[in-house]
Amino acid sequence: MQSPVPALSHSLKALSAILATAEAHCTDHKIDPTVMLAQRLFPNMLPLTSQIRIASDTAKGACARLAQLDVPSFADDETTFADLQARITKTLDFIAPIPAAAYEGAEDRTITLKIGKNERTFSGAQYYSGFVMPNFYFHAATAYNILRHNGVGLGKKDFLGA
């Protein structure tokens, strides 16, 4: 299996840039950042801070599991744009040094996740293509959509990254 690091790193860096744009938008429009960070697309959906946390968790969890490493635990206590940026940096710092060789044979590894009260078992290939990437992009896109819906000047190129 190819390393998932390049794709996940690229999109985490795009999320970081999106958050920087959102923070500047708050400053320029005199919006309390805590209000922006608490925004949701719908009342029963998670807020922006949670979308970033879950994207981070998905990236670090995928890289760790596929490379047969322990998944690091983060506190989930981010309340500011700076905190979220630090979380993205911490995620990138964890996944970047994992060598590509660590993913050799990962497509055939058995990955078992506890999701709520249930357990799901995947092959590494199923886990990556059918769970990790859709889940990661769902939360990254939802973060983008929350910000766009709240007037932050973003476009598709921002989501796709440089």
Burial class (CB in 10 A: 0-12, 13-18, 19+), 40: middle
Euclidean distance between CA atoms 102 and 83, whole angstroms: 30
Domain of residue 92 covers: 5-160
At residue 111, the pLDDT reads: 97
At residue 59, the pLDDT reads: 98
User: In percent, how much of the chain has pLDDT > 90?
Assistant: 98
CATH code, domain carrying 16: 1.20.120.450
Which pTM does this prediction carry?
Answer: 0.95
What is the band of 162 on the pLDDT scale with cuts at 50, 70, 90? confident
At residue 84, the pLDDT reads: 98
Task: Please count the structural domains in the chain.
Answer: 1
